[in-house]
A and B are shown apart, each in its own frame.
Chain A
Amino acid sequence: MGWQIALYILLIVALFVLGIRLLRRYEKKHNKRFQVSRKLEPYLFIMPVLILLLLAFGYPLINSVVMSLQNYKLTQPGNSYFNNFGNFKTLFADRDIGLIIRNSLIYVVASVGMQFLLGMTLALALRRKFKGRGVYQAIVFLPWAFSAFVVGLMFRWSFNGEYGVVNDLLMKLGIITEKIAWLGTPGLSLLVVILAMIWMGVPFFAIMYLAALQSIPEDVYEAADIDGCGAVRRYFAITLPYIKPTVIMTLLLRTIWVFNSFDLIVVITGGGPANHSQTLPSYMYTRAFSGYDFGLASALGVILMVALGLYAVFFLKVTKYNKAGDF
């Protein structure tokens, strides 16, 4: 029911306002700043978020670790038992696992890398005002607003080797002479998925960087101009350090997100041909729902989480994220 949500939001807003009111009153009365003691303050701020997340993710996180060690069929949940790392053994015995890991790496590096480069370029190009910039932006940010499966379907259809518009266009332009079976050729099928991913993801990077670029004070650049900095040096000496926290966080979050997202793969290629566009998460999804083997799927999920967790720690260490924000 819509009104349930409306009421819920109203309540939260009311709490928000009321809390502030209370604080104000307290401050006025005691004629001093409200001090729950500075130590407790951050916890108060984070508490609502933390409680929600713990409620929603705590159990699934623990449960998936437990399931990964069990023989757990969704069709027979009462019949599960620990199987001595059997799921992990099965996984690594799979003869296509090497190919799938390779695909995953190519997919994530190529997608995120290109999204980052294009997004950054776009943001830099849009930094200075020009006529029609508003309209331009409203249009080029649109791909991000599409449903992944609509985009996926669109790409699958456009890259169809026989009646797809891409081959037709390339032939009319004289770029190719023979039809290319995009989705039926190892390598190319993964490329189509990556292209779709890039197309959808660039606006996110552009928006984030554009917002970040806006917060760089003009006088910094003015000073640099006096020093006679070139455009490239200016970028690496001033712009990049300034938006470094944003760059690091977007790269990290998007890598995790892109790595985990499989809807484009499932829609466009279904992992084919012969697993040549299968990645670990799409493989997991297929295994979970075709074999109903949630033990195996969870094992894959745990491996994914560990790998991504290590990546996150490593990435944050190397980029010295926590030192980046200080100016």
Chain B
Amino acid sequence: MTDRMKRNLSTSGRVLLLAAYLLLVILPIYWMMATSLKPHTEIIDAQNLTYFPQAITGENYDQLFSMYNYGSMLKNSVIISGSTAIVITLLSILGGYAFARYEFRGKGSMLMFFLLTQMIPGILVIIPLYVIFANAGLINKRFSLFIYYLVVNLPFCVITMRSFFERIPYTLEEAAFVDGCTRWQGLFKIILPIMFPGIVAVFVFAFIGSWNELIAGTIFISTSDMWTVPVGLKSLIGKYDVKWGVLMAGGVLALLPTAIMFAVMQRFVVEGLTAGAVKG
């Protein structure tokens, strides 16, 4: 086999693989979108499954906003998840840097503690927090969710950030120190720019982690005008029936912010910003 044939073979294999995977991803999403465009009677018609909406309708999207106040849910979710993600990113840069670049007493046990926080079942954290928030008057305030999402996502993000730091050779910084840079300058001028894809990734992780959280959302929030998107969508599941169309419409629209972020993120992560920088 010539090299060329080999390459062709591997290319076509790759294309096939990517296409198959795309199909697997798209089918459920397509099904959601199709459902969101059907009237309720068509959706629940058990004798007649339609793969394309017979009568395309926008009523589900319309109801989502006019009856269920989706706009306010989006607003709450964006404020809470956005602010959580910003603060988490800043704090994990600091924490991740320390874990990656220093040897210090208690490092192992601290890491273990971080992991431990990921193991404790969430409900055992929510109840004591609820009591504290209630006494501080924070119930039904976005702030309570902000704090909760901050602490539950932090350990993961710090550890992830650490692994991003660790991929950057220490020699880079050393070279900078030799050139007379301080540690801070080393961090800000040399490392962070290279790290940028990682930072963006951590931001997105933190954002998605808070964006989709449901249990704390139902516990800490008590009025529908403060509901986040998942809580609002959950309310579409009644005792006897599910508003499938509206729910799917809400699910599809809830993807928008993250989809935009992915589009932005892939520019950084994908275009291989780091590759060149590390090389130099």
Number of A-B contacts (CB under 8 A): 292
B74 within 8 A of A: no
B91 touches A253 (CB 8 A): no
Question: Which residues on B sit within 8 Å (CB–CB) of A142?
Answer: 25, 29, 255, 258-259, 262
Question: Which residues on A sit within 8 Å (CB–CB) of B123?
Answer: 285, 288, 297
A246 touches B167 (CB 8 A): yes
- The SS class assigned to the B binding surface is helix
CB < 8 Å neighbour of A48 from B91, B113, B122, B272: B91
Tell me the A1-26 residues at the B interface (CB within 8 Å): 1-2, 4-6, 8-9, 12-13, 16, 20, 23-24
- Given A1-B143, A9-B83: A134 touches B263 (CB 8 Å cut-off): yes
Instruction: Name the residue of chain A whose CB is nearest to the CB of B118.
Output: A256
B269 touches A210 (CB 8 A): yes
| B250 CB to nearest chain A CB (Å) | 8
B56 within 8 A of A: no
CB < 8 Å neighbour of A146 from B242, B251, B262: B251
Question: Which residues on B sit within 8 Å (CB–CB) of A208?
Answer: 160, 201
Question: Which residues on B sit within 8 Å (CB–CB) of A55?
Answer: 151
B121 touches A284 (CB 8 A): yes
- Given A42-B98, A154-B32: A214 touches B275 (CB 8 Å cut-off): yes
One digit per residue, 1 when the CB lies within 8 angstroms of any chain B CB and 0 when it does not, for chain A 39-74 equals 101110110111011011101110110000000000
CB < 8 Å neighbour of B251 from A42, A150, A216, A281: A150
| B40 CB to nearest chain A CB (Å) | 14
Question: Which residues on B sit within 8 Å (CB–CB) of A8?
Answer: 83, 87, 143, 146
Q: A145, A297, A305: which has the most chain B beta carbons within 10 Å?
A: A145
Binds B, one of A86-94, A95-103, A105-113, A158-166: A158-166
Question: Which residues on A sit within 8 Å (CB–CB) of B99?
Answer: 42, 46
CA distance A155 to B28 in the complex (A): 9
| B258 CB to nearest chain A CB (Å) | 4
Question: Which residues on B sit within 8 Å (CB–CB) of A216?
Answer: 275
Q: List 26 A-B contacts (CB under 8 A).
A: A1-B142, A4-B142, A12-B87, A39-B104, A42-B99, A46-B99, A49-B94, A52-B150, A61-B120, A138-B259, A142-B262, A150-B247, A199-B24, A207-B269, A210-B270, A212-B163, A212-B167, A214-B269, A214-B274, A215-B168, A215-B278, A217-B275, A249-B159, A253-B159, A308-B115, A312-B112
- B: residues with CB less than 8 A from A are 10, 14, 17-18, 21-22, 24-26, 28-29, 31-32, 44, 46, 49, 79-80, 83, 86-87, 90-92, 94-95, 97-102, 104, 107, 110, 112-125, 128-129, 141-143, 146-148, 150-151, 154-156, 158-160, 162-164, 166-169, 182-184, 188, 197-198, 201, 208, 211-212, 214, 229-230, 233-234, 237, 242, 244, 247-248, 251, 254-255, 258-259, 262-263, 265-267, 269-270, 272-275, 278-279
